[in-house]
Structure formats: structure tokens, C-alpha cells
Amino acid sequence: MDPVALAGAAAVRRAIPTGRLEELVFETAAAALADAGLSRADLDAVVLGASDELDGRSISSMLTAAPAGALLKDEAKVPDSGLHALALGVMKVLSGSAATVMVISWGAPSECSREAIQRTALEPFVERPVGTIDGVAFGLTAAAYLERHGRALADLDRRADVRHARVGGDRGGDGWIAYPLRRRHVAPVVDGAAAVVLVSGRPPAGAAPAGWIRGLGWASDVHAMAERTPGAWPALEVAAARALGRAGIAIADVAGYEVDDRTVIHEALALEGLGAAAPGTAFDALDGELGSRVNRHSGDGFAGIPVHCTGLWRLATVCAAWRDRPGGGPLLVHDSVGLGGQSHAVVVAEAVRE
Amino acid sequence: MSAAVRAAIVGVGETAYRTHHPDATYPELAQAAGLAALAMAGMTPADVDAVVYSMAPTHFMGVTDAQLWAVGPVGGRHKPLMRLHTGGATGGSAAEAGYHHAASGLHDCVLVVGADKVAETRDAQFILNLIWDPFFERDFALNTVTMAAIQAVRHMEQYGSTEEQMAEVAVRSWRRAKRNPRAHLRGDISVAQVLESPLMSWPLKRYDCCPRSSGAAAVVIASERVIRERGLDAAWINGAGALANTVFMGDRLGPRRLTDMGDWDELRGAAATAYRQAGITDPARQIDVAETYAPFSINEIMAVEALGLCAAGEGGPAIAEGRFDEGGEVEVNPSGGTLCANPIAVTGLVRVCDAALQLLDRAGGYQVPGAQTAVATAVGGSFQFQTCMVLGREPTGGKS
């Protein structure tokens, strides 16, 4: 595909929430425009990646579209994730419908009970009473992975120790999430937002892109976990293959990985689904050279996962890093969403050359 | 339209629209529409390389992210699938996103599909009250009916539109819907019956308001390459526009307003984009069919004005005079429109379906003879989100 320029970006992560949601949205959008050297008047379209349930009101875009920059602009909301919203923004540019697009996503878990929301996503007659919310689904996924590949609980602990040492602070404790996952294996969630400004291959005057979107892919699996491949993410393999194919590169060309690492099992499954590690070997690979190429720019999720916008937040953070240090090879940016990682999105991004 | 790749609708599928579909689960409803659309296109789920899912607030069913249930039934397993949600405008936004999937050159065959079961809740307006600010607006009974009533009053004050003119819209919609086997409501009603029906929120009476519908809709959007290779009939997407406005209705009424709530300037703007792309310069002459998302009778009056089918303020008299009836210069809502079926998550997509059916000569009893150009609209939020898609029997612009 033709590359789409990342003209500007902004990423916000707040361990202690401040301000109203629309203020968070406005400040993030304004910062991305400032980084791009553009104004709201330059925007042709705005794509939101947000969840009504997390935002606490039906059709939350009624309130947030304008602070996102969409007043009297083309606007659409993609609730799946920030990276899914990015995909629509890229397609609007590639189709010629828009030359400059704001893509913005956020999540404010401080305002809601995420477990209550997760419960309402379950089928009401069988699944809800069983209670297979995210933590349980993560546990099932982790257990299946360990069983499938003959890995040990010690692998989870070892990786968690490395990551906690990296970020410092609270280690999460020994309390159970769902076997085999304990609190120390799971990242804390925080409020956050991210925005990127996309422009077509010929950026407008005044815009100095930080990087390029060279490829992207996204794919979903079925809802019922019992019908999926246990302990693996085949939908991610599909998404990654499409992203790499569109970028015209192979996995060996990838310089780094910015992946969903909200649990230690997410990190392993992500790297294996992307093709960075063979099935069952991610924990070993992370002990080696691969470990230094994972979330190098956006940092470890154990420092706090800005929910829903996680993937776009990582991409925006990468753009900021590129402003300071241009160059380097292509990166794969990944996010997973849905029960047990039902859906995935992958972006191939690369900095402008020095 | 200067798209990277031309794209068109090659298949349409819909279920019947009713209060309830007790015979089908939510995913089964979506699946039925998706398979019907693929069958019309002569395709199977294996031909689909991306799915766009049309799902507005899921709270009517009491389930969050219900589209995730439907991934398998609509053939989306291990395929790209994204949901669009712009409130009532969702179906229009989903159709436009499906277009962008194909026009970007990234996908050749896109299934746009969705379903809703609005009547799973006993009171849809209670749910629709939840779209408002929880601390102030919810408490004064703001919902879509009262919101539409405010618009109606504004239009009456500005242009002198009357309750009788709104009643004429309802009478015509119900009459046209008699020809549409999927319509939820249909029949012969009189202006007097409309005016005497129970008051919902002045000036809107029961017959001025849409029903709570359940059902599903889908379209298959294909790239020009696939269409030529397979020799498919096509309703070409020649224009697609959207516009969002502030949520605050007061900001659309006051002396410093940028737009006016009584004028549907959002639709006017979305249509301007779509018309420019499609080369429409004289809508009343160039458009043969308009399927407008008008959940309340006043909205059809506002829509024909915003689409440029008549001047501002002339919508009510023009409809009452029959200018948009069968045989008129432009036929508006030949399907019966949203007043006769409103499965909210897909209503905008239903408008696209009905517009495409006209160009594919598949509209059956409500076929407009010789229709060459059709327009479909959708509206959502506090009437703040509008979409407009222009379809044609022939492609205009773009790269082949």
C-alpha cells in the first residue's frame, strides 16, 4: 500500500485522573495538531476510537466529537480500539476521501467498573452466571498456553520479575486473578488518550511527519473461546501477515515490537502471533535479544496500561520518540481487544529517515 | 469521485422489520441479512475479505459489544472486522466505511452488516435518555421524541410548517410502505387520524413517530475489478459525505449559532460533499430517488430541504402537494422510510439498501421506473451526525 504519513501525535497517561473526559480529549487532540504543525481547519475528517461503556454514556461521541476536533467535520467512531480507528483513518486517506485525518482514542477506567462492563458483554443466560470476564479469560488463555507448550508457572513469574524490575513500584502481590495468573502477572490500568494526525503522501505545508504507516492489518476470532485455538492467537497471525504484506517486508526486517503486554501471557502470545518468536518459545526469546526490542519506545505496560487506546497510545509514544531520534527500522505496533484477545490490530510504522 | 478504486454495491440483504424476532437470536438475524446480500451478489462468505459491522448503542438488548457475538455467524472469523457506531447514523457511517475499505484498494469484497433488537427493552426512550448528560439533561426527560419535537417547533416558528403538513408525511409513508414487504408499519391512514392520535410531545403525535423495530440489513461492496471480472450488476457509490455538529442543541438555536437546528445544516454539509464527488449540481433534477432517515415526520420535511430537493421552508408544502410522490420529479422514501421501520443500528444501512435496490432494479413493488441516481441519508446523536451517500447506475470519476 502507499505509505500514509504520521504528521503529528500526542499520548497521555494519567495514573491519577484529572479533569473531565472531554477535556482529556480536547487536550490530546490539540497536542497532536500542535505536534503536526497544523490547525483544526486543516482536518478533513476525524475518527474516534472509544467505548460508550467506558465513557459512561450511550453514543458518547455526541459529547466527545467536538472536543476531538470534529465540529462541522466528517466524523465516525470505531468502538473496537484505537488501532482499528487508525485503520479507518488510513483507508480514508488511501481512498482519496480525505487528505488530513485526526485519529483519536481514549479510555478512562477511573470513571467506571470495568468488570461490570465486561460482564454485560457476556451472553446473559450461560456465560454471565459463569462469569468469564477478562481476568478469567486471560487465566484460561494462560493455562492453555502453558499446557500446550509444556511451559511452567515459573515462566510467568520470571517474566513478571523482569518487568517489575524495569518499572519499579508496586509489584501487584500474590492474589489470584484466575489460575495461573496472579496480580503480579497483570499490568495496572490507568486513564489515557492518544491521537495521531494522518496525512497523505504529500504532507501539507508546515507539516513535518515523524514517520509513516507502511502497512496494517486487523482480524477477529469467534466469540466463544471454546471454539478458538487454545493458547494461541491465530487472528493475530492473519492481521500480522496482512500488515507485513502491505508493507512489503518480512518479519526479519522488523526492528522492534510495540505490543500489548497487559499480562505476561499477552506479551508472549503477541510476539508469537506476530511471528517474532516460534510457538512456545516467547519466554525464552524474551530472555535473549528479543527482550531488548519489545516496547522499547512506549515502555512496559506494568507502568500502567491506558485502556482501549493502548495500541494507538503506543504508536503515538513511538512518534514522540522519533521526534527526538529519527531513523531506525520498521516497528510492529499491536493491540488486542475483546474477550481473551478476540480481535487484533497490527501496524507497520517507520520513522522518517535522518 | 476521485477515489483510488471505484466501488459499488453488488448485493443487498434484509430481514423483515418487526417489533420482535423471537425466532432468531441476534447473531442469527445478522447472519440472515449477510447471507441474503451475498446470495444476491452470487457470492459466499469465502468471497468476503473484510466485514464492517453496523451496531449503534447495544443497550437496547442489554448486551455490550454484541457485534462480537456475530463475528462467526457473519463469516468474519480470521478476517478484518470493525464496528461503526455513530448513534442513529451508524448504518450510514458503516456503509461509508465499507466504501472506504474497498476504495482504498485494501479490500475487494466487503460485507457491511448489522442488526438490532430495539424492542428487547420495554422502553427504548428510557435507553435513549441515557445518551444525555447524566447530571442535568437526563432529568428533564430529554429523549429522541422530545428532541425531535424541539426541532419541529423550531421549523414551524421559522417557516410556518404545520401539523397538517407533518401528518401528510406520515400518511404518505404508511401508504408507500404497503408496497414494501419488509416494512414494520403500513396501511391507509388519514391526516385526521394522525392529528387525533395520542400526543407524544407537541407537536408530534404517535403517527408522526417511528416504531421500535428489530431486524437486520447488509450490503456487499465490491471493487470495480471484481465487478468487471464477475460481470456483476452494480449500484456505484459516487459520493459519500458526513458531518458532525455539537451535541448542544442550544448552540444550534442561539444568536451566535454556526448552524440552525431547524435547518439540518449537518445534512446540507454532508450532501454538499457527496454531491461534489458525484457531480450533482442540480439535485432536484439529477436525483431520482431519495431514501431519507426521517424517524419523525418533521425530519422528512427538513431532509428534502437540506438535500436541495426544494428550498428551505418549502418542504412541508411540497410534500403535501405531492411533489415527492410516485411519478414526481424525485420520489422520496418509496420504501415507506424510517417512519415505517426503525431498527436503529441499521436504519441508515436500510436507507442505503433501499436506494441500491432501486438502481439494481430489485425494489419490487416500490421500484421507481428508470431510476438512475439515488441518495441515502442517516442521522444520529442529537440530530448532530449526518451522512449522505449518492449512488448511480454508472460510476462517476475515480480510477478504474
Report pLDDT digits (tens) over A64-83: 999 999 999 999 999 999 99
What does the pLDDT read at residue B400? Answer: 42
Q: Which residue on chain A is closest to B91 by alpha carbon?
A: A76
Q: What is the ipTM of this complex?
A: 0.97
Provide the residue type at A10 as one letter. Answer: A
Helix A153-167 with A264-274: angle, nearest 10 deg: 100
- Residues of B within 8 A of A91 (CB-CB) are 97, 100-101, 103-104, 106
CA dist., res. A345 & res. A315, Å (int)? 12
A238 part of contact set with chain B, CB < 8 Å: yes
pLDDT given at position A202: 73
Tens-place pLDDT, residues A157-177: 999 999 999 998 777 788 999
pLDDT on residue B399: 46
Contact flag A221-B86 (C-beta cutoff 8 Å): no
Which range among A52-61, A268-277, B184-193 shows the weakest confidence by mean pLDDT?
A52-61
pTM above 0.90, yes or no: yes
**pLDDT number for residue A208:** 84
Identify the closest residue of chain A to B102 by CA–CA distance.
A95
Q: Is residue B28 situated within a structural domain?
A: yes
* Contact predicate B277/B238, CB 8 Å: yes
The C-alpha cell 447495544 sits at: B58
A74 to each of A68, A198, A342, how far by Cα in Å? 12, 14, 29
pLDDT of amino acid B397: 63
Give the model confidence (pLDDT) of A82-139 as tens digits: 999 999 999 999 999 999 999 999 998 888 888 999 999 898 888 899 899 999 999 9
CA distance B385 to chain A (A): 8
Nearest residue of B to residue A84, measured between CA atoms? B82
Closest CA–CA distance from residue B19 to any residue of chain A (Å): 21
Interface touch B81/A59, C-beta < 8 Å: no
Length of chain B in terms of residues written: 400
Give the number of A-B residue pairs with CB atoms closer than 8 Å: 190
On average, the pLDDT of chain A sits at: 94
Give me the CATH number covering residue B82: 3.40.47.10
**Closest CA–CA distance from residue B213 to any residue of chain A (Å):** 19
Write down the pLDDT at residue B226.
Answer: 98
Residues 139-168 in A contacting B (C-alpha not used; CB under 8 Å): none
Identity of the residue numbered B137: E
- Summarize chain A as % helix, strand, coil (round to 5): 45, 20, 35
Tell me the chain A residues in contact with residue B103 when contact means C-beta distances shorter than 8 Å.
91, 94-97
Chain A, 55-74: which have a CB under 8 Å from a chain B CB?
A: 56-59, 61-63, 65-66, 70-74
- Residue B61 counted as domain residue: yes
Does B336 fall in a domain? no
Q: Which domains does chain A have, with CATH numbers?
A: 4-111+188-351 (3.40.47.10)
Residue ranges of chain B with per-residue pLDDT less than 70: 1-3, 397-400
B12 lies in some domain: yes
Asked if the Cβ–Cβ distance from B380 to A94 is below 8 Å, we say: no
> How far, CA to CA in Å, does A76 sit from each of A213, B195, B245?
20, 37, 12
Question: Which residue has better confidence, B97 or A17?
Answer: B97
Task: Quickly list DSSP for A200-212.
Answer: -SSPPTT---SEE
The residue count for chain A: 354
pLDDT tens column, A192-221: 999 999 999 777 777 788 999 999 999 999
Query: Tell me, what's the pLDDT at A354?
Result: 59
Contacts with A77 from chain B: Cβ below 8 Å: 84-86, 93
CA-CA distances (angstroms) from residue B397 to A177, A297, B233, B272? 56, 43, 18, 16
Q: Residues B305, B314: contact at Cβ < 8 Å?
A: yes
Q: How far is A216 from chain B (nearest CA, A)?
A: 10
Pick from A63, A72, A218: which is nearest to B258 by CB? A72
For B12-26, b/e burial (b = at least 16 CB within 10 A) is bbbbbbbeebeebbb
Radius of gyration of chain B (CA): 19
CB proximity A102 to B under 8 Å: no
Asked whether residue B194 is assigned to any structural domain, the reply reads no
Report pLDDT for B128. Answer: 86
Instruction: Tell me whether residue B184 is in a domain.
Output: no
Minimal Cβ distance to A66: which of B59, B100, B246 = B246
- Our CA-based measurement puts residue A325 at a distance from the nearest CA of chain B, in whole angstroms, of 31
Determine which of A220, A236, A246, A342 to mutate to test the interface with B (most B C-beta atoms within 10 Å).
A220
pLDDT of residue A112: 86
Chain A residues inside the 8 Å CB shell of B1: 96
Q: Is A223 on the interface with B (CB under 8 A)?
A: yes
Between chains, do A62 and B247 touch, taking CB under 8 Å as contact? Answer: yes
Residue B256 domain-assigned (yes or no): no
CB-based contact B242 A75, cutoff 8 Å: yes
Residues 2..21 of A with a Cβ closer than 8 Å to B: which?
none
A46: closest CA of chain B, how far (Å): 10
Total domains in the fold of chain B: 1
Query: pLDDT value at position B254?
Result: 86
* Dihedral, A322, A47, A198, A219 alpha carbons, nearest 10: 70
Domain range enclosing B12: 7-121+213-222
pLDDT for position B348 = 98
The answer to whether residue B98 sits within a structural domain is: yes
Q: Which of A120, A217, A339 sits opposite B63 (nearest CB)?
A: A120
B59 vs chain A: nearest CA distance in angstroms? 8
The identity of residue A275, as a single letter, is G
Separation of alpha carbons A217 and A107, rounded Å: 22
Contact B69 A123 (CB under 8 A): yes
In A68-222, the DSSP E strands lie at 74-77, 100-107, 176-178, 181-182, 189-199, 211-220
Record: contact B57-A58, CB cut-off 8 A: yes
- Which pLDDT tens digit goes with each residue over A321-350? 999 888 889 999 999 999 999 999 999 999
The residue among A256, A126, A130, A113 whose CA lies nearest residue A189 is A113
Q: Per the CB < 8 Å rule, is A75 touching B244?
A: yes
